[in-house]
Structure 1
Amino acid sequence: MKQRILAILIDHLVGTIIVLFIFMAFNWESIMYPTDSNFMRPFETFNTILLLGMIYYFLKDVYQGRSVGKRVLRIAVRDIEDTSKKPGSIRLIIRNVTVFLWPVELLLLILMGRRIGDIIAKTQVTHM
């Protein structure tokens, strides 16, 4: 379970860095050299860039059932009925949609060893 929590933290760090990089790339001039005409640009682009971050979270496990954090820690999402199989992409996306309930997800992970997303998508995280 410690590995799963650490993988979540690594994935969050990676997602934050990606979103921050994109945010800075889109808004560099208005942040570094603010004028009356570009002053509001960071606020205008925030929702679009936040959406990109959400897409990262939804898709992070789609490739081989492993996010960056899971790859580092050598764990992977697998089908609960056959741990040799990676769940389909739709199931992996559904599994990650529940990440926005992170306080409940963390509590269930600690108490039951599985997240809501794992229960809904019928997945489990295993060592590789």
Structure 2
Amino acid sequence: MNFKIKRGLSFGIDLMIIALLIIIIEFIIEFNDDYFYYMMYGCLFLKDVLSKKGSLGKLILGLKLETNNNQYRYFRIISRNFSLVLWPIEAIVFTIYGKRIGDYIFKTDVVLDNKINDSI
């Protein structure tokens, strides 16, 4: 599968998981509609801190998030997702260069996880 397609699918999986999580929480705890957006953006910004390899979508598709010196820094990982607010620009940059704006600014990269892909 094309690497860009794999990254796009992993992001789609992440969005579905975030939406499902928020819908479940909404049924359990009724909250003001304004809080929906806070929760949505909070989950979007924090999606890559679940494991040291990245989000659930990345894990499912055999990708991992790396930093330039292989040190996992929460600030860098969370901050790279702030560029998702500018999603139309982010999509254009990703389509052309294969990396997101946040990857360039915070020196992160998404690569194939060789441990998972070698075992397949």
Q: Closer, same or farther in 2 for the Cα pair 1:77/1:86, shift >3 Å? A: farther
Aligned mates of 2:105, 2:80 — CA distance in 1: 7
- CA drift of 1:86 comes to 4.8
2:22 aligns to what?
19
- Cα offset for 1:10? 0.4
Query: TM-score, structure 1 length as denominator?
Result: 0.78
Give, as a single letter, the amino acid of the residue that structure 2 aligns with 1:115: R
Runs of 4+ in structure 1 off by over 4 angstroms are none
Choose from 63, 76, 79 the match for 2:64: 76
Q: In angstroms, what is the RMSD of aligned CA positions? A: 1.4
Q: Choose which of 82, 85, 101 in structure 2 pairs with 1:100.
A: 85
**Deviation (angstroms), 1:104:** 1.1
Q: Which segments of 5 or more consecutive residues in structure 2 lack a partner in the other structure? A: 114-120
Task: Give the Cα separation in 1 of the matches to 2:58 and 2:17.
Answer: 12
Gaps of 5+ in 1: 28-41
State the identity %.
28
Length, aligned pairs only: 109
* Most deviating of 90-99 and 50-59: 50-59
Q: What residue is the counterpart of 1:37 in the other structure? A: none
Q: Secondary structure at the match of 2:99?
A: coil
Looking at structure 1, the residues matched to 27 and 37 of structure 2 have their Cα atoms a distance apart, in angstroms, of 13
Q: What is the CA distance between 1:87 and its match in structure 2? A: 3.4
Aligned match of 2:97: 112
Structure-2 change in CA distance of 1:53 and 1:118 (3 Å): same
State the shift of 1:19 in Å: 1.1
Give the distance between the partners of 1:4 and 1:86, measured in 2 at CA.
22
